[in-house]
Amino acid sequence: MAFHEEYKAQILSKSNLPEHVAIIMDGNGRWARSRGLPRTVGHEHGVKAVKKIVQAAGDINLPLLTLYTFSTENWKRPKSEVSAIMKLLYKTTRRELNELLENNVRLITTGDIEALAPSRRDILKDAIARTANNTGLTLNLALNYSGRLEILRAVRNIVKDVAQNKVKADDIDDAVFTRYLQTNGLPDPDLLIRTSGERRISNFLLWQMAYTEIFVTDVLWPDFDEDDFFRAIIDFQGRERRFGKIKTTGSSKGS
């Protein structure tokens, strides 16, 4: 039974909507294997779940949704699977571009997309450019992304800037460091959802997730739907966030 209208109303009646939800979309392979299907079919069904969740995120006016689409470690999968995921990504971007435009979705990426095959990377860049002025949901695809590599690159660039006197070592604080990350300008995730029951961060947004609330569900990504997404948001809205401080008197619930 679908509860999403009810859940949506419940979410929108509260003021503490997350600003940024990040998702580790896990379980495509297991979803396929349990049906005796090739892993790539699991990824195809994963794309259907992506569509549903992007729509649902727009429905609750979520400002930013980051999807862990391809990690730098994912290159180590069999060649055929890597190329199937890449193909799916480009095909989907091309096919859904009009829908993104109609729904006022702005597409961005985090990660090293320059390393992707040029002809296909251009499809992504075109979609990013054409949706750049949209003002609704920002859909951020973490692509060829590694949290550690992102931090290492930031360190290398800071060291260079210190050597050139562009920044003083003693001035490097949270705010300065954040500017050297690929997510510069984006808020940290308020909520991380991981599907398929795994309880790992898997090199995702390591710096940015210092105070992120984590929601793990056993649902495999291709089965993850609007109701599951809304349930995660409702769970988040009921949490008390203290950011290392103690609870103040009065209600700090969800702050």
> Catalytic amino acids?
26, 74
Residue among 85, 142, 158, 181 that touches ligand FPP (CB under 6 A): 85
- Name the one residue in this structure whose structure tokens are 């949706």: 131
41 binds ligand FPP (CB under 6 A): no
Would you say 24 or 154 has its CB closer to ligand FPP? 24
- Closest approach of Cβ 191 to ligand FPP, in Å? 18
Q: Determine the residue with CB nearest ligand FPP.
A: 29
Identify residues 11-40 at the interface with ligand FPP (CB under 6 A).
25-30
Q: Is 186 helix (H, G, I), strand (E, B) or coil?
A: coil
On whether the CB atoms of residues 148 and 203 are closer than 8 A, the answer is yes
CA distances (Å), origin 210, targets 69, 84, 136: 21, 33, 26
Tokens of 158: 């800071």
Neighbours of 93 (CB within 10 A): 19
Q: Could you tell me how many residues of this chain bind ligand FPP (CB under 6 A)?
A: 19
147 binds ligand FPP (CB under 6 A): no
Q: Please give the backbone phi and psi of residue 95, each rounded to the nearest 5 degrees, phi first.
A: -70, -35
106 binds ligand FPP (CB under 6 A): no
CA distance 242 to 235: 16
Identify residues 173-212 at the interface with ligand FPP (CB under 6 A).
196
Residue among 47, 64, 116, 167 that touches ligand FPP (CB under 6 A): 47
CA distance 180 to 141: 19
The residue ranges that bind ligand FPP (CB under 6 A) are: 25-30, 43, 46-47, 50, 67, 69, 74, 85, 88-89, 92, 141, 196
